[in-house]
Amino acid sequence: MIVDASLVVDAICDPGRRGVAARGALGEQPPGEPLIAPGHFAFEIMSALRAAANRPDHPLRPADLPLALQDAEAYEITIEGTPWTDVHRAWELSEQSLRYADAVYVATAERHHTALLTTDGRIERSGAAMRCQIISVLPAESGSLGHAGTAEPTTDE
């Protein structure tokens, strides 16, 4: 399973429903299935955590950042290099309305023939022709955990 930074950041620093849903989705992954992310994942984690800690209304404080990074590390996500084939595929996807960073996650999921687990609903809504399943983790309206939507892979190119 490929995971993106939005999911992990929500899991480690959102005390509300988004965080509950993200933690639940990560916890539901089978123990034998590796969690994988492309190389820019670490940069996105650091950037998002710093941005959250700098917001005056966010519970994460700058002094909490080292522990938050340890919490992210505890999910044992393998960060792999991004091969040029993924860069080229991400470029194609970006031409179809995906942001570059999101397109690299999708390209990685396509290469691994697996799904992308995310809390970023924009990926699923982008309309790009993706060849992997997108599992968008959103908080359930009723307070129970749930996956609000999935986009099935498309084959047109």
* CB neighbour class for 36 (10 Å; exposed up to 12, middle 13-18, buried from 19): middle
pLDDT at residue 11 greater than cutoff 70: yes
The partner residues of 3 in beta bridges, in order of sequence, read 117
The per-residue pLDDT for 141 is 65
The model's pTM? 0.88
Please check the confidence at residue 78 and state whether its pLDDT lies above 50: yes
**Which pLDDT score is estimated for 144?**
39
Between 148 and 4, the higher pLDDT residue = 4
How confident is the model over 13-63, as pLDDT tens digits?
Answer: 999 999 999 999 999 999 889 999 999 999 999 999 999 999 999 999 999
